[in-house]
């Protein structure tokens, strides 16, 4: 069974967390929702509640097969935690799937893993992505090595097809 970390913080984009979590669980994966505090109820931008399974300090990235970073305003909060950046770096360095959608690119920028990569995101942070050394493209979903990126909620079907393809290709 594949184990995936789904990061969470306040003001996540509701669909960009719930859709991937449900899709991965449908595919037989164990998904741990990981936030600053364990068993805390976090709220999406549109009010959808989600409860974290674990806290950042309870997670060893070596025990997981991939990570997902949702968009919304949560990435601006998530990237402030050294534990989050270490999780992302460790999963990336191990060649395991790192998924990011919309504003989630901010976390990958802060983790320092975008140099030389081709990615997409919400157009609002394309300059940030380029300034981090990435080539930004305006397409629904991009796979570059083990980074899978998407622009916004309407791109979720393409994003999750790509994420699952990379996850199960190992």
The pLDDT tens digits of the residues spanning 26-77 come to 999 999 999 999 999 999 999 999 999 999 999 999 999 999 999 999 999 9
Confidence tier at 170 by pLDDT (50, 70, 90): low
On whether the pTM is more than 0.85, the answer is yes
Contact call for residues 65 and 31 (beta carbons, < 8 A): no
Given 77, 79, 103, 117, the catalytic residue: 103
Given 101, 102, 109, 114, the catalytic residue: 102
Highest CATH level, class, for 3-168: alpha beta
- Is 103 assigned a catalytic role? yes
């Amino acid at each position: 069974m594949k184990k995936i970390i789904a990061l969470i913080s306040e003001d996540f984009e509701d669909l960009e967390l719930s859709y991937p979590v449900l899709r991965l669980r449908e595919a037989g994966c164990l998904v741990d929702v990981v936030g600053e505090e364990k068993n805390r109820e976090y709220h999406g931008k549109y009010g959808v509640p989600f409860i974290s399974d674990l806290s950042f300090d309870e997670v060893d990235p070596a025990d997981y097969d991939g990570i997902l970073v949702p968009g919304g305003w949560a990435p601006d909060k998530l990237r402030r935690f050294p534990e989050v950046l270490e999780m992302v770096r460790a999963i990336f360095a191990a060649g395991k799937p790192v998924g990011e959608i919309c504003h989630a690119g901010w976390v990958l920028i802060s983790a320092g893993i975008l140099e030389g990569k081709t990615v997409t995101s919400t157009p609002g942070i394309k300059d940030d992505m380029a300034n981090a050394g990435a080539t930004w493209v305006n397409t629904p979903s991009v796979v570059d090595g083990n980074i899978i990126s998407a622009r916004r909620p309407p791109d979720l079907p393409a994003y999750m097809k790509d994420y699952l393809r990379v996850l199960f290709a190992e």
